[in-house]
Amino acid sequence: MTEDTAYMERALELAAMALGRTSPNPLVGAVVVRDGEIVGEGYHQKAGTPHAEIHALRQAGEKAKNAVLYVTLEPCCHYGKTPPCTDAIIRAGIKKVVVAVKDPNPLVAGKGIQALKDAGIEVSLGMLEARARRLNEAFFKYMVERRPFVTLKAAMSLDGKIATSSGDSKWITGAEARAYVHRLRAENDAIMVGIGTVLADDPLLTVRLPGEDRKPLRLVVDSGLRIPLTSRLVRTAREVPTVVAAVKGKCQAEKKEKLESAGVEVWELPEKEGRVGLCSLLEELGKRGVLSVLLEGGSTLNAAALAAGIVDKFIFFYAPKIIGGKGAPGPFGGTGINLLKDALEVAELSWERIGADLMLVCYPVKPAKE
C-alpha cells in the first residue's frame, strides 16, 4: 500500500463512521496531509451539518496551505444546506485534491472538480474508486435512478430453511447476528416486510441498540389491507413512522380510516398480478426521499422482490443448524425457475463470522442495460 492510498483508506474509514446518519446525503471522509503528516481530518456526520472537507480544513487551520486534501467524494460546488466546499478548499490554499470518485448528483457531477482546476488546484481522480462507490452504493443508485437501494436480509439454517414445517422460526440465528441486524436497520432509511410476516410474528421493526435513536420508516406490503389494528406496528405508529402499501381499489374505506387515525400512512398503489407492484412502490419511496430499504420479508415477498428485479444486495445469515423437512420454507417461495440456466447469479461474495453464525454478503448479477 502506498502512502497516498493509506491516506484515502483513512478517509474511507472516517466516512464509514457515520453509517446510517447522513441520508439523504452521502457518506464522506476527508484527510488533509502536509509534508507527509496528517494535519486535519473529518467526516460528514449528519445531513445539514458541515461536510467532511470543512471539518478537516478547520482542524488543519493554517497548515492547510499548500497541503494535499484526500476526499472520498467529489467536493460540492453548490449551495444546499451548507455553502460550497470548493470555496473553502480554495480559500484554505490547498495545492492538490485527491478524489476517490465523482459525485453522481447532477448539481455537482464534475463541476466541483472543474471549479478546483479553474482555481489552479491540481486534481487527481479515481483512487480506491470501487470502494468509495460501494460505501455510497445507496446514494449512487438513488442519484442515477431516483429509486432506493434494496438489501434483502434472510436468516436460515445450513440447509436453507427460514423456519420449521410448523412455522417456528425464533430464533434460528444467535444473539450476535440478531444484534447485527439492528445495526443494518439503523443504516437504512426503511425496513420492509410483507403482511405474512406481520400476521405470523407481530414484529416491531425498530432499532434496539444502546444509545441508538434512529427510527427508520416501517413499511408493510399488504395488498388487501389485512394488517390487524391490534398489531404492534399499528399501536406504535405515532411513535415510529409506519406505512402500509395496499392495492389501489382494494382498500376498505373504514379500515383505511382507522389505520390513519392510529397514525399509519396508507399508500394505495397500482397492482401487479393481484399484488402491490413493487416497482411502483420503489418509485413512490424514491419520490419521498428514501435512499435505502432493508427487506426483511418472508418467502413470498422475497420471491416477489426477486421476480421484480428490485434487489440490489443480499445478506444471508447461516446458523450452524440443520432443520430439514420437505414442508419447511426456504427464503424464496413462489414458483421458482424450471431451468438452471435461468438461475440468478451473484457476485462479490464475502463471508464474515458473526458469533456462532456465518454472514454472506453478495450482489445479484444484473443484465446490462441497453
**Which residues are catalytically annotated?**
53
Do 51 and 11 form a contact (C-beta atoms < 8 A)? Answer: no
* CB count in 10 Å sphere of residue 341: 6
Do 208 and 178 form a contact (C-beta atoms < 8 A)? Answer: no
What residues contact 50, with CB distance under 8 A and at least 6 apart? 42, 44, 58, 82
Cα dihedral 257→259→260→265 (10° resolution)? -130
**Residue 64 DSSP label:** G
- Report the alpha-carbon distance of residue 164 to residue 106 in Å, rounded: 49
Do 146 and 290 form a contact (C-beta atoms < 8 A)? Answer: no
* CB count in 10 Å sphere of residue 261: 10
- Report the alpha-carbon distance of residue 191 to residue 125 in Å, rounded: 35
Do 68 and 40 form a contact (C-beta atoms < 8 A)? Answer: no
C-alpha cell at 320: 450452524
Do 137 and 149 form a contact (C-beta atoms < 8 A)? Answer: yes
